[in-house]
Amino acid sequence: MSDLPEDRLTPGPPFTFVGIDTFGPYQIIHRKTRGSSINQKRWAILFTSLVSRAIHIEVIEEMSSASFINAYRRFIAIRGSVKLIRSDRGTNFVGAIQDLGITAEFIEKGTVDIMLSQYGTIWKFNPLHASHFGGSWERMIGLSRRILDCMLIREKNRLTHEILVTLMAEVSAIVNSRPLVSVSTDSDNPEVLSPSMLLTHKKGQDEQTMLQFGTKDMLRSQWKMVQGLADEFWSKWNKEYLHTLQVRKKWELPIKDLNIGDIVLMRDKELPRPQWSMAIVTKVFPSADMKIRKVEIRTIRDNKPSSFIRPIVELIPLVLTDLK
């Protein structure tokens, strides 16, 4: 495994360098009518600080550039300005950079100045078919979304916009309380650093008496329902997250980089393996540490030569140049 990118290690305030992704939708009650109710959908945008590992969640009404811009403005109003954003190529993200006046960097095409930057922010999009490039924030979304999906599908007939927004704030607080590293050498008074400590400069959360609510109480009061859902999320989060803290060994040994002229097999989830196409590497894109993580390949599609940019995890080496 290679070194972390520079923006994962550069000192700075939380959320100076962020990763962004969306999840959802969740169905809410928009308004009640006589004998029925009108439902709408809501999505959530998760902002992850690439250095402090803290998260911030904003709820949006639709998957559009305009809705994202409103969420982004709320985010920077609370967390401050951002120097670098990383994300996939969601259409709501690509459309938003044009309206926000942010410099966008398409990794395989170089820097593209869309218009003068108003915020001093650079946006880097991951290459296609390379979701693992956003692993640092995809992991937070994956675990949180799996728990929320199980909980909120069951509560879809009782969720309102206000309940969902409050629950996402509670989820952010729970995820930000996770341990990062021990910062105390006193065995009698151990202290663990968490993202919330970096955000609030407070040691842990204030002690609060946890109230127990019955089902009837939760049905009558929205805030009690939110607390009940937050408690359930906390319980499931602890069970699913704690076991991930144990050390795992992966990618410890160096592997040979692909070179121009190598013959590879292109993975395709839409086709059976015997129908996967072969291609030749025509260009490589070294990262800052000079490791090759994406390449340009040429293959035959519809009896015509076509070129694509693919991450190396989507390619299977068949014939290497030094083995021909």
Q: For residue 283, how far is the Cα from the chain centroid?
A: 29
315 inside domain: yes
Q: Which two tokens stand for residue 210?
A: 């946890």
pLDDT at 206: 47
Rounded Cα–Cα distance for residues 42 and 195 (Å): 27
Q: 75 and 163: one domain?
A: yes
| pLDDT 10s digits, 134-191 | 666 666 677 777 777 777 766 666 788 888 998 889 888 888 887 776 555 544 444 5
Q: 78 and 107: one domain?
A: yes
Side-chain half-sphere of 134: how many Cα atoms within 13 Å?
Answer: 29
Long-range CB pairs of 288-292 (<8 Å, 24+ gap) are 288/5, 288/6, 289/2, 289/3, 291/2, 291/257, 292/257, 292/258
pLDDT at 81: 86
Q: Which two tokens stand for residue 88?
A: 């996939």
Q: 237 and 271: one domain?
A: no
Number of C-beta neighbours around residue 248 at 10 A: 5
143 inside domain: yes
Which CATH number fits the domain that encloses residue 65? 3.30.420.10
**In terms of Cα–Cα distance, which of 300, 290, 293, 292 is closest to 266?**
300
Cα dihedral: 199, 185, 205, 214 (round 10): 130
Number of domains in the chain: 2
Rounded Cα–Cα distance for residues 47 and 87 (Å): 10
Q: What are the C-alpha distances in Å from 108 to residues 11, 30, 128, 129, 222?
A: 27, 43, 10, 13, 48
- Torsion region of 275: left, alpha or beta (phi above 0 gives left; psi -120 to 50 gives alpha): alpha
**In terms of Cα–Cα distance, which of 123, 177, 136 is closest to 50?**
136
| H or E stretch covering 263 | strand 263-266
Buried b (16+ CB within 10 A) or exposed e, 261-274: ebbbebeeeeeeee
pTM of the model: 0.63
pLDDT at 110: 39
Alpha helix locations (H) across 80-190? 91-100, 135-154, 161-176
Q: 294 and 147: one domain?
A: no
Tell the burial category of 147 from Cβ atoms under 10 Å away from its Cβ (0-12, 13-18, 19+).
buried
Among all chains, which residue has been given the structure tokens 């196409």? 277
Q: 36 and 139: one domain?
A: yes
What range does the domain containing 49 cover?
6-195+209-245
- The residue count of the chain comes to 324
pLDDT at 84: 86
pLDDT at 196: 83
254 inside domain: no
Q: 97 and 213: one domain?
A: yes
Chunked into runs of 10 residues, the chain (324 residues) has average pLDDT values of 62 86 85 70 90 90 84 91 81 62 51 45 72 64 75 70 89 82 51 78 55 49 68 68 54 74 83 74 88 88 85 81 57
pLDDT at 194: 79
pLDDT at 151: 74
